[in-house]
Structure 1
Amino acid sequence: MSDDSTVPREPVPAVVPPPAWVPPAPSAPEPPRSQGGGRAFLFGLAGVLVGAALAVAVMLALVVPGERTESPSSSLQQTATQTAPASIEVTGDVTFAEAVAAKATPSVVFVQIEQLRFDPFTGRTVARAVGNGSGVIIRPDGYILTNNHVVAGADRLVVSIGAEDVTATVVGTDPSTDLAVVKVDRTGLPAAEIGSSAELRVGQPVVAIGAPWGLEKTVTAGIISALGRSSVAESASGLTAYTSLIQTDAAINPGNSGGALCDAKGRVIGINTLIQSTSGAFAGIGFAIPIDFAMGVADEIIATGRATHPFMGVATATIDESTAQRFELPVTAGAYVQSVVSGSPAATAGIQPGDIIVRIGNAKIESVEDVFAAVRSHKVGEQVEVEVVRGRKRLTLKATLAADTGRR
């Protein structure tokens, strides 16, 4: 396997899927697989945090099976056709959350996922709502940023903008980062003000906006609980790297996926994506993809239809303590290099089959997932140090990462 793929794994106990808001209930997931040692408990496109000192729980992708929950029309829905976000002003008894909601809510849309089914009674193909998520309008000419797991498997997407339901088309998806861009044929939309995730602080107030359980334009408030969380998850399309996630205690639930995490000035600083929970419902720990990274992926998708990522060119397998003892390896944790892609950055750096990777950059390597996450935390063209164990020697090699174009 290459550094953007996975290897066979031993089964771990099955996890609980997020509960459905309305029927039909989702089919039971197959038991997830782990790299050994109980490192990862997965559901859908979500995984337990890598390298974070957290209690074992389940990381869940936030998509609600079923149809939307109808909510009464509101002034926020009525203003969703404005062409620019409102200015934010906290005065008198107006809280920051009220001001943020007034400014940012019109830019967050409800995304309904539909699949086409043949109806034997009518002899026609009909569309059936099978789930919902959220999205953020990033350009007034109809471009909307959301999660890949929101749009994956959809035959048709319907986006609610104000009181209008509009069919959306997928511009491009990037399963390896769980991001996607869709577009509606509309202009003059209320594009969100995009902030920056570069100078966020733990403890600063935030607001999450989305459609949990199908409840459109739901606003919750909290703080940034932590920064720099990382996670790797496995799906049918390969591995997904969640790097430098924003952790928040603002309540987010299934249906919030693709929605906005905003700062106190109403600027979008993250795309709500995952929760950590043993029940499938919010338990005080949610995660958002930083907006600086998300917009970089979105801009590339809009320009080219896809996103590129750093590539090193190694096929690895996880080494744990039992494997190390069985094969008398010199270390008890790392990523064993099974093969090296000819002409790849790894080959140029001198990495060889049989090497054990124990560090990439500043990241300690203990598994295949760690290799994937570490490579993805860098940029194309960046030179990184790769520490390997070869026999009884430790070597520090330097690899200049290339683009993964055509390697998916």
Structure 2
Amino acid sequence: MSRGFTRLLTRGIGSVLTLGVGIGLGIVIGQGLAPTHATTLSFDEAARLYADLDGETRPLVDGGTALAKVARLTSPAVVHIQSRRKDSRGGSVEETGSGVIMRHEAVDGAIVVTNRHVIAGSAALADISVGLSDGRTVIPVRTWEDAASDIAVLQLKDPNVPPAAWGDSEALDIGHFVLALGSPFGLSQSVTLGIVSAKGRRSLELGSDSGVLNKDFIQTDAAINPGNSGGPLVDLRGRVIGINTAIASNSGGNEGIGFSIPSNLARRVVDQLVTHGRVNRSFLGVKLDPDFNPETARRFNLDRVRGARVVLVYDNTPAAKARLQRDDVILRFGEIDVQDENHLINLVSLTPVGKRIDLKVYRDGRMMTLRVELADRASLAEK
């Protein structure tokens, strides 16, 4: 059975949560099942065990206390978002997601960072409502959207709520503890705990994501479900290190494989949106091989699959001017080793327009360095 990558929207909750007797537990109470008796303890033995646990569990208790502080610090900045849009039949569809309140020096009041797909299709600001942690509901005064990263920003009049703080997603290591906050199934102010399972997940097909250019996800096993879209992934210092956006699931629910947009990518996109109204992205001017595999790597005498293979160089582009050629394998971009084609796309698009970068290229069995001056991706639409 193929595994789907699901964006985390919730359309209604009534059909999702069902109360019943013994649901999912498979428990049968009846004859033939003898009760299990606990060992009888004396008063002195019970007192001794309580004393032992007070000491032996102290590290766990201290860890739980720290997690509670992280949740208390960040939860007030987490919001519940409802949006309405027209469906293909002209009817109205309501979807819900999450977001996190941040500050930006270029914006009066506060901003909410969320996923674009949470509010996509909303025709007016009045179609978007933001539920604050204290129960208030507000309407944004402005929105910005970036389809290429699936990030959206909502501007609020000063909500009088302590904002969350950005963290450094590059400082994350696999195994670090993280908390996911949001509104799974519409249940606002939910917090789950997990670890960073992987970094640099780029080969994801997120449903109808043809416009998503920047794919570079943190993978976590913190429980993430429909409705968590746009909510923050937080480290143990209470810093936002990701924006939750998708899950890998056969059922549509949590299976321990969730994905978040790294904070360093999200923060750059947010800054560009609120400062310039759009994200300035660079481009190289090549078509890359999406199926660069071990067999192809051996054909090129590479020791393993690495880098990004060029299959086409477009005329009058930075790549053409730098004399890149078909079948060149780009192994390094500046000082960064290129892992695959999506990694290179991210590196190029998030580098300032006009910057000159040295490319380490493998061609015909030898290494060479080519210098390229990156151009504005927006110029492609003008041609």
User: Could you say whether these structures have the same fold, taking a TM-score greater than 0.5 normalized by the shorter chain as the test?
Assistant: yes
Distance in structure 2 (CA, Å) of the matches to 1:338 and 1:107: 46
Distance in structure 2 (CA, Å) of the matches to 1:279 and 1:92: 36
Shift of 1:190: 2.5
Are 1:296 and 2:264 counterparts? no
Shift of 1:112: 0.7
Distance in structure 1 (CA, Å) of the matches to 2:164 and 2:357: 35
Q: What is the CA deviation profile of residues 173-230 of structure 1, one whole-angstrom value per residue up to 9, with x for unaligned ones?
A: 1111121111223443321122222322332322110011111111111222233333
User: Percent identity among equivalent residues?
Assistant: 33
Matched with 2:312 is 338
Matched with 1:263 is 235
Shift of 1:149: 1.8
Shift of 1:371: 5.0
Distance 1:94 1:401, change over 3 A: same
Distance in structure 2 (CA, Å) of the matches to 1:231 and 1:372: 12
Shift of 1:110: 0.6
Matched with 1:177 is 149
Matched with 2:184 is 212
Paired residues of 1:336 and 1:356 also in contact (CA < 8 A): yes
Are 1:96 and 2:96 counterparts? no
Matched with 2:359 is 385
Shift of 1:386: 5.1
SS for the counterpart of 1:63 is coil
Shift of 1:370: 5.9
Q: What is the CA deviation profile of residues 236-295 of structure 1, one whole-angstrom value per residue up to 9, with x for unaligned ones?
A: 65343222x322221111211110111223222211122222322211122222222211
**Structure 2 matches for 1:313-352, cutoff 5 A?**
313-316=285-288, 318=290, 335-342=309-316, 344-352=317-325
SS for the counterpart of 1:242 is coil
Distance in structure 2 (CA, Å) of the matches to 1:147 and 1:399: 33
Matched with 2:224 is 252
The one-letter code matched in structure 2 to 1:98 is A
Shift of 1:376: 3.9
Task: Provide the alpha-carbon RMSD of the alignment.
Answer: 3.7
Aligned equivalent of 1:141, options 96, 99, 109:
109
The one-letter code matched in structure 1 to 2:69 is A
Paired residues of 1:69 and 1:214 also in contact (CA < 8 A): no
Distance in structure 2 (CA, Å) of the matches to 1:320 and 1:201: 27
Matched with 1:39 is none
Distance in structure 1 (CA, Å) of the matches to 2:358 and 2:243: 28
Are 1:199 and 2:171 counterparts? yes
SS for the counterpart of 1:238 is coil
Are 1:372 and 2:345 counterparts? yes
Distance in structure 2 (CA, Å) of the matches to 1:407 and 1:62: 32
Distance 1:67 1:394, change over 3 A: same
Are 1:227 and 2:191 counterparts? no
| Structure 1 or 2: more helix by fraction | 2
Paired residues of 1:175 and 1:237 also in contact (CA < 8 A): no
Distance in structure 1 (CA, Å) of the matches to 2:253 and 2:117: 17
Q: What is the CA deviation profile of residues 294-321 of structure 1, one whole-angstrom value per residue up to 9, with x for unaligned ones?
A: 1121111111111122311224565668
Aligned equivalent of 1:108, options 78, 85, 93:
78
Q: What is the CA deviation profile of residues 328-366 of structure 1, one whole-angstrom value per residue up to 9, with x for unaligned ones?
A: x97999645334141x321221124x445454532254x
Paired residues of 2:82 and 2:128 also in contact (CA < 8 A): yes
SS for the counterpart of 1:209 is strand
Range with greater deviation from structure 2 (395-404 or 106-115): 395-404
Distance in structure 1 (CA, Å) of the matches to 2:193 and 2:279: 32
SS for the counterpart of 2:245 is strand
Shift of 1:396: 4.8
Distance 1:131 1:59, change over 3 A: same
The one-letter code matched in structure 2 to 1:157 is I
Are 1:404 and 2:374 counterparts? no
Matched with 1:131 is 95
Matched with 2:11 is 65
Normalising to structure 1: TM-score of the pair? 0.66
Matched with 1:157 is 128
Paired residues of 1:174 and 1:306 also in contact (CA < 8 A): yes
Matched with 1:274 is 246
Shift of 1:92: 7.0
Distance in structure 2 (CA, Å) of the matches to 1:348 and 1:398: 9
Distance 1:397 1:382, change over 3 A: closer
Distance in structure 2 (CA, Å) of the matches to 1:70 and 1:163: 23
Paired residues of 1:68 and 1:214 also in contact (CA < 8 A): no
Distance in structure 1 (CA, Å) of the matches to 2:373 and 2:212: 22
| Structure 1 or 2: more strand by fraction | 1
Paired residues of 1:196 and 1:269 also in contact (CA < 8 A): yes
Distance in structure 1 (CA, Å) of the matches to 2:14 and 2:97: 9
Shift of 1:372: 2.8
Aligned equivalent of 1:308, options 274, 277, 280:
280
Normalising to structure 2: TM-score of the pair? 0.70
Equivalences, count: 320
SS for the counterpart of 1:159 is strand
The one-letter code matched in structure 2 to 1:250 is A
SS for the counterpart of 1:111 is strand
Shift of 1:118: 12
Distance 1:316 1:195, change over 3 A: closer
